[in-house]
Structure 1
Amino acid sequence: MSRREIDLIHRNPWEALRQFTAARIALGRTGDSLPTAELLKFGLAHAQARDAVHQPFMSEELAGPLAALGLHTLTVNSAAPDRSTYLRRPDLGRKLSAQSHAQLSAWPDKQADLLLVIGDGLSSKAVHRQAVPLIAELLPYLRTLGLSLAPVVLAHQSRVALGDDAGECLQAKAVAILIGERPGLSSPDSLGIYMTWGPNTTRLESERNCISNIRPEGLDYPQAAFKLAWLLEQSFQRRLSGVQLKDESDNPALHGCISPAYGIKSDNSVYN
């Protein structure tokens, strides 16, 4: 970069803080506009976010690693027959297709304590990258809690509420759906978890607990796994979920039979 080009760019005094975050901060300016390099990066990030929405869900690539963890899987589809319909008709992504509904309803081993659903949501990239490492961190907590597991359901063209439909079919006491979140410009691979006690198709959004932004650059796997395990422990004790169940997993005084593998400081902030 020439001296002339450097002079054209007005840099922000807090530019050094960019090393601590993937957020688009301290971009500088050239006149009234962004510098060309930052504008090109913005275009690339936007394209990556769009690609994440349309990337196909390769559920078979998750089945093998999950089997290595000792987990059986079932593959299902929502009532949305393709991606275009899924994006235009959110209601169809919230329920199982007739064939998948019959498949789960006919499954012989019902009434497990917990059903885990992995759904593509709006970013299959997120579940491809984050789902298996997160579940690997979660399993020791589930064993400590003594919770039985239904087969892991791998759901194509899924919205959050599909987990409740699947949970009702398998008569699970609770369901947690791991689903790709809407891609952001700096986070095309962010995973979310929605946990519901007593899943059925009449459940409201307010009856679910959400854990968001799960990825190495956001909420890491050990912290996310413990948060979910803590919520599950409380949910089974109190037989509820949603707005009535506040996430206080960072308070050691409220820990039950499980404690975080990564530890918690006395001031209630998490450390690794």
Structure 2
Amino acid sequence: MSDQLPVPLDPVEAALAQTPARVLAGRAGPAYRTATLLKLREDHAAARDAVHAEVDLVRDFGAELVARLQLFAVQTQAASKAEYLRRPDLGRKLSEAARDVIRAQCPAGCDVQVVVGDGLSATAVAVQVPALLALLQDGAAARGWSFGRPFFVRHCRVGVMNDVGALLSPAVVVLLVGERPGLATAESLSAYLAFRPRPGHTDADRNLISNIHGRGVGPADAVARVFALAEQFRAAGRSGVGITEGAAPQLDG
């Protein structure tokens, strides 16, 4: 055995290894170094592109997955991306045409209903969702739970879960939606979960798994957490405040 002590990490390298944030970047006079400035502009452009891009199911998910899951697309009451960004309220409500299509295409009363929404990052949806959809379908099958026909909602905000709950009455709704992109990544996705959501429910009635991306929560871990929460919802008969990951459910009554 060697008697030599391990060489300690350089303090700057140790700090940089812990975060993607722009710390200890140095400077050129009062300004950023050129490499830092160029990377900042690149990441800002990626974030803007993620917000303004549109999801194409076949291009982004692949024709095989779209066909296997019978994925289809509907839209909220926001008629365009510009209106969606100006009017968050319209992104929380399905259009009348969307309601008709969902009623006709999706079975009601399933144990799990997965919805995909573009949210504020089409990039995150394209990168993260294909793997998650397959794992969610497998996880439901392993538990003997019925899995509703998933669909994509364009110009989507989280509150659209309430309309889905009212239309289809699933036990658990899982919304996979693009997070607001930052300068660390434009590929981060959130999974919002709710037990029997209905109009009038708020964020207090929902649970969230965030930071699903390559440097954050991986697909397998995210899906395991989704089903662990769903099992707690079913046992407690509710979701939201009072439901904590890893905790034993507190039963109503």
Q: Is TM > 0.5 for Structure 1 vs Structure 2?
A: yes
Contact 2:166 2:197 in 1 (8 A): yes
Q: Tell me the secondary structure at the aligned position of residue 49 of structure 1.
A: helix
Identity of aligned residues (%): 36
- Alignment of 1:74 with 2:104, yes or no, is no
Once residues 138 and 27 of structure 1 are traced to their aligned partners in structure 2, the CA distance between those partners, rounded to angstroms, is 40
Measure how far apart 1:108 and its partner are. Answer: 6.5
- Structure 1, residues 5-53: CA drift from partner, whole Å, max 9, x if none? xxxxxxx951454345432222112233221221121111111111110
Structure 1 residue 139, shift from structure 2 partner: 3.1
- Name the structure 1 match of 2:93: 95
Paired residues of 1:135 and 1:225 also in contact (CA < 8 A): no
Q: SS at 2:65's partner residue?
A: helix
1:207 aligns with 2:212: no
Alignment of 1:120-131 (within 5 A): 120-131=118-129
Could you tell me which residue of structure 2 aligns to residue 267 of structure 1?
Answer: none
Cα deviation, residue 151, structure 1: 0.6
Determine the structure 2 residue equivalent to 1:163. Answer: 161
SS in 2 for 1:96: coil
Separation in 1 of the partners of 2:132 and 2:85? 27
Amino acid at match of 1:51: D
Q: Which residue of 1 aligns with 2:7?
A: none
Q: Distance in 1 between matches of 2:137 and 2:168?
A: 20
> What is the CA deviation profile of residues 181-204 of structure 1, one whole-angstrom value per residue up to 9, with x for unaligned ones?
000101101000100001222211
Of residues 77, 80, 83, the one that matches 2:81 is 83
Matched-pair contact (CA < 8 Å) for 2:117–2:175: yes
Q: 2:101 matched to 1:142?
A: no
Give the match for residue 5 of structure 2: none
Q: Residue 72 of structure 2 aligns to which amino acid in structure 1?
A: L
CA distance in 1, matches of 2:196, 2:13: 48
The two structures have a TM-score, normalised by structure 2, of 0.87
1:46–1:168 distance in 2 versus 1, CA, 3 Å: same
- Deviation for aligned residue 1:207: 0.5
| Structure 2 letter corresponding to 1:121 | G
Query: Contact 2:50–2:186 at 8 Å: present in 1 too?
Result: yes
113, 116, 119: which one aligns with 1:115: 113
Contact 1:15–1:27 (Cα < 8 Å) also in 2: no
1:216-231 superposed matches below 5 A: 216-231=214-229
Partners of 2:33 and 2:106 in 1: CA distance: 61
Aligned mates of 1:105, 1:140 — CA distance in 2? 24
What CA distance in whole angstroms lies between the structure 1 residues aligned with 2:150 and 2:216? 25
Q: 1:58 to 1:67 in 2, by over 3 A?
A: closer
Distance 2:246 2:191 in 1: 16
Q: Distance in 1 between matches of 2:106 and 2:179?
A: 32
Other-structure match for 1:188? 186
Aligned residues: 239
Q: What are the superposed Cα offsets for residues 132-154 of structure 1, whole Å, 9 maximum, x if unpaired?
A: 11223333322232210111011
Give the SS at the match of 1:244.
coil
Q: Deviations over 1:168-222 (max 9, x none)?
A: 2122121010000000101101000100001222211110000001011111111
**Superposition deviation, residue 73 in structure 1:** 2.1
Equivalent of 1:57, from 55, 58, 61? 55
